[in-house]
Structure 1
Amino acid sequence: MTPQLQPVEALIFAMVTAAAVDRRITEVELSRIGSLISELPAFRDLEKDWLANEAQDCGRLLAKPDGVRRVLDLITAALPRHLRETAYVLATEVTISDLAVKDEETEFLSLLAQTLELDQLVCAALQRAARARHCTV
């Protein structure tokens, strides 16, 4: 039986999957996930060790055959429409945070956008905004 996620868990799964899809989560990506969780109102009520547990659960699902598809389905089922762009922008923030977006990450973002039925222009704007926030001087 496949577990169901709460919306806040789905947001975390989107970020963790974006970081893990290339089979390597960098310290920068982990740090960005942690800072997003500490900064954003959606995550206000989480306990400190909660992220580690969610990341492990997500990793176990990703390791299974067709794991990315399963995670995408869980994310979609858990998120109300008004949080779908939030999931996308959080995943984008994580992929861009190490300033080296890999092909696997780009493919995941595309799959996430399709699965969540997001407008391509909105996704392009969210990606551009995330890139702008991570530019170096």
Structure 2
Amino acid sequence: MPSPIQDALIHIMIIAASSDATITERELNRIEALVGRLPVFAGFDRTRLTDVANDCADVLNSDDGLDLALDKALFAIPTKLQDTAYALAVEVTAVDLQLEQEELRFLEMLRDRLTLDRLTTAAIEVAARARHRRLPD
């Protein structure tokens, strides 16, 4: 049976990926990888991933789409998984190794709607940067 929480977490990742108006192949691959390996997605039917992503895209393309999609997703996510939702959003935006202004604004908007303290969100952001860092040339 589909989990509205898992669907909402995927919606958060899709919103994050589309926040700069383009969803890259790297972002899609990261979303697939996260859904495939994280315990929060245990039992998720991966054949539904495209449908869940398309449902989110449909909401995003409606009037007030960003606010509506974000509100809908956050309503389904329990407080104890808000840090997970923020970590997933950061992970998807960080995969391109360069955060665009729109992505930074989205993360700020997400932070403002969550009940996470600034220390927690900062730790999540630093950890994502560390995971995606490459060797210097």
* Aligned pairs (5 A) from 1:4-83: 6-83=4-81
1:127 corresponds to: 125
Superposition TM-score, scaled by structure 2 size: 0.93
The answer to whether the 8 Å contact 1:13/1:58 transfers is: yes
The answer to whether the 8 Å contact 2:94/2:129 transfers is: yes
The answer to whether the 8 Å contact 2:36/2:46 transfers is: no
Q: Which residues of structure 1 form unaligned runs of 5+? A: none
Q: Distance in 1 between matches of 2:74 and 2:45?
A: 24
Moved >4 Å (runs of 4+): none
**Which 10-residue stretch deviates more, 45-54 or 78-87?**
45-54
**Which 10-residue stretch deviates more, 87-96 or 41-50?**
41-50
The answer to whether the 8 Å contact 2:4/2:76 transfers is: yes
SS at match of 1:22: coil
Give the C-alpha shift of residue 43 in structure 1: 1.1
Give the C-alpha shift of residue 48 in structure 1: 2.5
- Does 2:96 correspond to 1:98? yes
Q: Distance in 2 between matches of 1:76 and 1:20?
A: 17
Tell me how large the CA RMSD over aligned residues is.
Answer: 1.1
Q: How many residues align?
A: 133
